[in-house]
Structure 1
Amino acid sequence: MKKLMVAVIGGLDAPAAAVSELVLTDLSAATGGRYTPTVEVDGARTTYAIQGGWWYRGEYTIEPDDQGGTRFTHRVYNVASWMRWAVPLANKGFVGFRETTRRGIKAQLDRLGERLACRTWLES
């Protein structure tokens, strides 16, 4: 069972295929510090997930938008299968978690935009 903790939506003025390639490259190179995360990719290469630790799962969805750019959605889930009740305690009640996640995704979009020489934005 997974519980949605936060979702952040943004976009880039670049084709979804180009964004997808960079995100896959970045996730494939990810290291989790104390643990090695698992990276999953769907067959259409539009949804990527990175899971690590005992509770964290981040999912990225990369889809073309109506203007030829890309809609970029990041969702964080609690996927703890044991001691689920302890996740908020271990994360200080998630105080500031949404804003921290939002800043992190904004920074990720900015890095992608710089590499693709395009404009980026956040919707939520």
Structure 2
Amino acid sequence: MRLLFEVSGVVRAPIEDVRERMFTGAGESGSHRLVDRERGVIAYWGDWWYRGEDSLQPHPEGALVVHRVYNIAPQGNWAPYLANKLFIGYRARLEAAMRERVRQLEAQS
């Protein structure tokens, strides 16, 4: 498993409130998803290369939400780069999505 991208954002709200909001509708663990409310982790993966992982950690200003993208391809781990056009613009999209997610989590307070 190789970390490709990591983005994070601080939600200015108590961590327990953010945890409740983050896990609303998360469902339960299954064949392609891990939901661990105690550790504050939601992970989801496909059949080929992708694993996305969201985690929640305490932060002096509230709660730190971290999103990581891993390459989990057991072989041909170079192929996701080609399939995703070398990930050009991918980080910018992840960062924009994180800003929106933080905004939404703060708006729910």
- Establish whether TM, by shorter chain, passes 0.5: yes
RMSD: 2.2
The 1-side partners of 2:23 and 2:37 are apart by 13
Partner of 2:12: 13
Secondary structure in 2 aligned to 1:17? helix
Per-residue CA deviation, residues 27-73 of structure 1 (Å, 9 max, x unaligned), is: 439xxxxxxx8221336232221212421111112112124x11111
Of all paired residues, the percent bearing the same amino acid is: 35
Task: Tell whether 2:35 aligns with 1:41.
Answer: yes
Task: Tell whether 2:92 aligns with 1:93.
Answer: no
Q: CA deviation at 1:25?
A: 2.2
Task: Tell whether 2:62 aligns with 1:62.
Answer: no
Partner of 2:68: 75
TM-score, normalising length: structure 1: 0.75
Gapped runs of 5+ residues in structure 1? 30-36, 117-124
**CA distance 1:113–1:20, change in 2 (3 Å):** same
Alignment of 1:94-109 (within 5 A): 94-109=87-102
Q: Give the count of matched residue pairs.
A: 108
